[in-house]
């Protein structure tokens, strides 16, 4: 795809580090994409998101199609201009949120119809409409419309769901509004079943995409099973294309997935946790609501370069959380995104220097004290 390339600079076991180049800038991989659901990474100015080290953010098609509306975003000059993020944006297809957020949804061969959770109006999302919406938003990476197979599902359910997603992937590619530097990624489904994942990967390769996502994970199957699925799925993906694990995850999920060859991630965890007073640090996760921080003059994380850690005490952050001050969400989100970006930078460096296994072992010890609730 012209204007969209992926160069692998180094590998370490199954892991790779490299650069995706788009017309709107480079994405260093492995990359973490902060989630900007409704055209804003919550509680952050976009220039601050960039300061954390993010090369790309994710926008949610479902939210944006309902409010402010894809045609309106296009009239305002596209999502990049509207939200003042001139760098790459990936949009999902909208399918996942329809199934998890919308009401009265009805799925058939053609697509899914549903009632908006915002105003109750009825919408339809088909592969063709998803491609149209993502083109109106103007994102750099589009995702095919798929059905995120629920967990648990019987093998028969997982198979027919995967096959529907593969038919939709074909229709998505046919309807894709190509533009310079714009890429459409396929999504592998198939639940926890090796032969279904293999068939799904083969079907997508047959259609041909510049990037491949692993979907249907982080939906309750647990980390061990998720890693199993990656172990038997990733080898079926083209080695020269970026691989994106959707909706993942906690730091140690990301580390394990990078070791299994994943290049891209997105997750609401750092931003949502930030708004709930939970911080990721080099000594594990910290719940700033906890009374033990009341008189603690130390920074949240002495090693961190973010404004929350450079400037404020844990006691002050605790106070802001207790007083439900907006500044609490602002500072802790900023910290968490910085933490995630520094995690990715460390992984990239370790892969480049061939010491990922050692690096991962050190990191995993840090996260042993992780007390954060799963999403």
Catalytic center residues: 92, 266
Residue 273's φ and ψ, nearest 5 degrees, are: -60, -40
Minimum separation from the CB atom of position 369 to a copy of itself (A): 26
SS (H, E, C) 179-217: CCCCEEEEEECCCCCHHHHHHHHHHHHHHCCCEEEECCC
Cα dist from 372 to 33, 202, 285, whole Å: 20, 37, 6
**Beta carbons within 8 Å of 200's beta carbon, 6+ residues apart:** 162, 165, 166, 188, 189, 190
**For a copy of itself, the closer CB: 86 or 235:** 86
**For a copy of itself, the closer CB: 114 or 316:** 316
Task: Tell me how far apart the 2 most distant CA atoms of the chain are, in Å.
Answer: 60
Minimum separation from the CB atom of position 39 to a copy of itself (A): 7
Q: Is the peptide bond before 230 cis (omega within 30 degrees of 0)?
A: no
* Interface positions with a copy of itself (CB under 8 A): 38-40, 42-45, 67-68, 72, 75-77, 82-84, 275, 294-295, 297, 307, 311-313, 315-316, 319-320, 322-323, 325-327, 329-330
**For a copy of itself, the closer CB: 236 or 319:** 319
Residue 354's φ and ψ, nearest 5 degrees, are: 65, 30
**For a copy of itself, the closer CB: 31 or 269:** 269
Minimum separation from the CB atom of position 302 to a copy of itself (A): 17
Minimum separation from the CB atom of position 3 to a copy of itself (A): 26
Minimum separation from the CB atom of position 273 to a copy of itself (A): 15
Minimum separation from the CB atom of position 316 to a copy of itself (A): 5
**For a copy of itself, the closer CB: 27 or 43:** 43
**For a copy of itself, the closer CB: 223 or 276:** 276
**How far apart are the C-alpha atoms of 199 and 18, rounded to whole Å?**
28
Long-range Cβ contact pairs of 109-114 (< 8 A, separation 24 or more)? 109/164, 109/167, 111/145, 111/168
């Amino acid at each position: 795809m012209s204007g969209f390339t992926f160069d692998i600079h180094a590998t370490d076991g199954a892991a790779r580090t490299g650069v995706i180049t788009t017309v709107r800038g480079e994405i260093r991989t492995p990359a973490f994409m902060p989630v900007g659901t409704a055209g804003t990474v919550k509680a952050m100015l976009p220039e601050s998101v960039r300061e954390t080290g993010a090369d790309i953010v994710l926008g949610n098609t479902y939210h944006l199609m309902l409010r402010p509306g894809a045609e309106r975003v296009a009239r305002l000059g596209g999502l990049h201009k509207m939200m003042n993020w001139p760098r790459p944006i990936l949009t999902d297809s909208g399918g996942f949120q329809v199934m998890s957020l919308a009401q009265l949804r009805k799925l058939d061969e053609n697509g899914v119809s549903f009632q908006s959770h915002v105003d109750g109006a009825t919408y339809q999302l088909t592969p063709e409409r998803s491609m149209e919406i993502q083109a109106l938003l103007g994102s750099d990476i589009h995702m095919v419309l798929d059905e995120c197979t629920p967990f648990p599902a019987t093998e028969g359910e997982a198979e027919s769901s995967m096959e529907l997603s593969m038919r939709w992937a074909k229709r998505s590619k046919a309807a894709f509004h190509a533009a310079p530097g714009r890429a459409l990624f396929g999504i592998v489904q198939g639940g926890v079943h090796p032969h279904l994942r293999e068939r799904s990967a083969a079907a997508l390769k047959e259609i041909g995409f510049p990037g491949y996502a692993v979907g249907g994970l982080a939906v309750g199957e647990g980390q061990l099973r998720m890693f199993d699925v990656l172990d038997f799925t990733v080898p079926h993906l083209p080695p020269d294309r970026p691989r994106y694990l959707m909706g993942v995850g906690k730091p140690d999920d990301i580390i394990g997935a990078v070791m299994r060859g994943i290049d891209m991630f997105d997750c609401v965890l750092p931003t949502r946790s930030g708004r709930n007073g939970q911080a990721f640090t080099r000594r594990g996760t910290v719940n700033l609501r906890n009374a033990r921080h009341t008189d603690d003059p130390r920074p949240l994380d002495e090693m961190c370069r973010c404004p929350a850690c450079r400037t404020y005490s844990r006691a002050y952050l605790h106070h802001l959380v207790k007083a439900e001050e907006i500044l609490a969400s602002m500072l802790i989100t900023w910290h968490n995104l910085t933490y995630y970006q520094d995690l990715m930078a460390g992984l990239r460096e370790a892969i480049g220097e061939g010491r990922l296994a050692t690096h991962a072992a050190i990191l995993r010890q840090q996260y042993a004290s992780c007390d954060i609730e799963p999403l």
